[in-house]
Amino acid sequence: MDATLTFLGTGTSMGVPTLGCDCAVCASAVSSEGDPRNRRTRPSLRLSYNNRVVLVDTGPDFHAQAIRESIRHVDAVLYTHGHADHILGFDDLRPLSFRLKENLPLYADSETTETLRRIFNYTFSERERYSTAARVALHPLNEDIPGAGVDIFGACFRRIPVSHGPQTITGYRFGSAAYLTDMSDIPAESIPLLQDLDILILDALRRQPHPSHSHLERSLAFVEQLRPRRAFFTHISHDLDHAPTEAELPPHVRLAYDGLQLNFEIA
Ligand SMILES: [Zn+2]
Ligand SMILES: [Zn+2]
Ligand SMILES: [Zn+2]
């Protein structure tokens, strides 16, 4: 089945430009003479297939991203983890959820489910439910078996455990593509789940190592090890200037940018 993937955002948690920063990349991100690919909103994906729209994460820029990409309809959302840059756009699902016949299905691991329930308590609380809260239904992911899958509109989404500093969070494989945002390491159990990929999307924060994110050199080593047909780096900070950084990379490895679309086979 043909699918299209759109990068709604490709920035790190602080976004690019980073507030208060005057560096060349942050300046380029907002200048009319700059490189618009340096303007990086918080990381998220849209997948379109089978006449359905599935999102991976809803970060704090989701409202602006949805307007930019003319998202008028969402059928499901998968979450990677509960950090602010991945969940704070949750409330902007409200008007989209009202248009559906059933509650909007959300998929998340147990820790993320707990965080969503705590932060958006007025949505999930039976006693104090806010009347115009999002109409959603949380579906827990199987965390007992690495690579366990869930069928969403005819495509299988497998949970790929990844290390994000001290935490284990959720990466996803869907058909010939995998999305591993926010990761510092790939556990041995996840390596066999990432073979024969057309598209591998990986965290590559900056040049210097970071305790909870992979950096450029490390992400390149993962690409070498896993040998996808093409790789795209995301969750990028203001450390990486788009064009000069890409010029250093092998041709099958690119920096993702907001609005970039890729076609692939999802099932
Ligand atoms: Zn993040
Ligand atoms: Zn900067
Ligand atoms: Zn994170």
Check residue 131 and give its pLDDT. 82
Check residue 202 and give its pLDDT. 98
Q: For the chain, give the secondary structure using H, E and C.
A: CEEEEEEEECECCCCECCCCCCCHHHHHHHCCCCCHHHCECCCEEEEEECCEEEEECCCCCHHHHHHHCCCCCCCEEECCCCCHHHHCCHHHHHHHHHCCCCCEEEEECHHHHHHHHHHCHHHHCCCCCCCCCCCEEEEECCCCCCCCEEEECCEEEEEEEEEECCEEEEEEEECCEEEECCCCECCHHHHHHHCCCCEEEEECCCCCCCCCCCCHHHHHHHHHHHCCCEEEEECECCCCCHHHHHHHCCCCEEECCCCCEEEEECC
* Proximal ligand: closest to the CA of 81: 3
* Proximal ligand: closest to the CA of 235: 1
Compute, in angstroms, the gap from residue 246 CA to the centroid of ligand 1.
22
pLDDT in tens for each of the 267 residues of the chain?
999 999 999 999 999 999 999 999 999 999 999 999 999 999 999 999 999 999 999 999 999 999 999 999 999 999 999 999 999 999 999 999 999 999 999 999 999 999 999 999 999 988 888 889 999 999 999 999 999 999 999 999 999 999 999 999 999 999 999 999 999 999 999 999 999 999 999 999 999 999 999 999 999 999 999 999 999 999 999 999 999 999 999 999 999 999 999 999 998
Compute, in angstroms, the gap from residue 5 CA to the centroid of ligand 3.
21
Check residue 29 and give its pLDDT. 98
Check residue 86 and give its pLDDT. 98
* Proximal ligand: closest to the CA of 14: 1
Check residue 120 and give its pLDDT. 96
Distance between CA atoms of 94 and 90, rounded to whole angstroms? 8
Compute, in angstroms, the gap from residue 25 CA to the centroid of ligand 2.
6
Compute, in angstroms, the gap from residue 239 CA to the centroid of ligand 2.
7
Compute, in angstroms, the gap from residue 166 CA to the centroid of ligand 2.
27
Q: Which domains does the chain have, with CATH numbers?
A: 2-146+157-265 (3.60.15.10)
Check residue 129 and give its pLDDT. 81
pLDDT tens profile 202-211? 999 999 999 9
